[in-house]
């Protein structure tokens, strides 16, 4: 067992990988036809806009991240005093950068999926200028920050992390969803050391192959770079090529 202190906080995180178990989903149950039908119903339904919510009901704490057409804020909901991550998307920039389809896909997928290693979308609301996606707050930060601190992970830690991503991809691929943007910045680490996959902007439900050039250039799989069409194998390639050892 090894203990590391991350960042400049008086908090230590202990990761043990000799024996561990994940509260994963029973994949024999996943193969039940009714389970897949329930997913399809959630995916096809229009996502619910919470008109009773607005930005004034949240206390802004800090900005957690910044993107090309939005940012993520740490907020506290006044009614229950619970911390959330609030993704704020600028409507004008979504249109300017031709991201309407990607935003719709992300919201539909997050609304439909249920997995312990995928970030939870709690609610959705909007105003004239912005779309607000209310998500769970994962306190540990992203995997990219841990890599910058440690530089290299020991093999048993890498295997522990990789096993969780394998479960996520197995789950997503069962529903014909490809993720297409696996990178340390999109992997969050909770306070127990377990992973949460976030940012489904490039995720897509497919039947066979898709030819869209998307993702992060530094993490493109060969088939995306060569524009030959790609599918589920592109996720596995990125996992194998990019996990830090």
Q: Give the active site residue among 54, 90, 127, 181.
A: 181
Q: Judging by beta carbons within 10 Å of its beta carbon (0-12, 13-18, 19+), is residue 162 exposed, middle or buried?
A: middle
Task: Give the 3-state DSSP-derived string for 29-80, with helices as H, strands as E and coil as C.
Answer: HHCCHHHHHHHHHHHHCCCCCCCCCCHHHEEEEEEEEECCCEEEEEEEECCC
Residue 127 designated active-site: no
**87 marked among binding-site residues:** yes
Quick count: other Cβ atoms within 10 Å of Cβ 131? 18
Cβ burial 24-38 (10 Å sphere, 16+ → b, else e):
ebeeeeeeeeeeeee
Instruction: Could you list the residues known to form a binding site for ATP, using ranges.
Output: 87
Instruction: Could you list the residues known to form a binding site, using ranges.
Output: 87
Active-site annotation, residues: 181
């Amino acid at each position: 067992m090894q203990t590391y202190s991350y960042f400049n906080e008086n908090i230590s995180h202990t990761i043990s990988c000799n024996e561990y178990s994940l509260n994963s989903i029973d994949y024999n149950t996943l193969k039940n036809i009714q389970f897949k039908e329930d997913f399809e119903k959630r995916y096809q339904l229009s996502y619910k806009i919470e008109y009773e919510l607005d930005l004034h009901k949240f206390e802004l704490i800090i900005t957690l991240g910044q993107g090309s057409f939005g940012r993520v804020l740490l907020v506290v909901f006044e009614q229950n005093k619970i911390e959330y991550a609030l993704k704020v998307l600028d409507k004008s920039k979504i249109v300017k950068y031709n991201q309407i389809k990607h935003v719709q896909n992300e919201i539909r997928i997050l609304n439909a999926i249920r997995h312990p290693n995928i970030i939870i979308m709690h609610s959705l609301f909007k105003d004239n200028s912005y779309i607000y996606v209310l998500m769970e707050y994962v306190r540990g930060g992203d995997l990219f920050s841990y890599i910058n601190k440690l530089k290299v992970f020991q093999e048993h830690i890498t295997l522990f992390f990789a096993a969780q991503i394998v479960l996520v991809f197995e789950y997503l691929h069962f529903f014909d969803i490809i993720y297409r943007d696996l990178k340390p910045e999109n992997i969050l680490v909770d306070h127990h050391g377990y992973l949460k996959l976030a940012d489904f902007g490039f995720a897509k439900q497919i039947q066979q192959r898709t030819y869209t050039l998307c993702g992060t250039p530094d993490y493109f799989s060969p088939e995306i770079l060569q524009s030959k069409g790609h599918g589920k194998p592109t996720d596995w390639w990125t996992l194998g090529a990019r996990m830090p050892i």
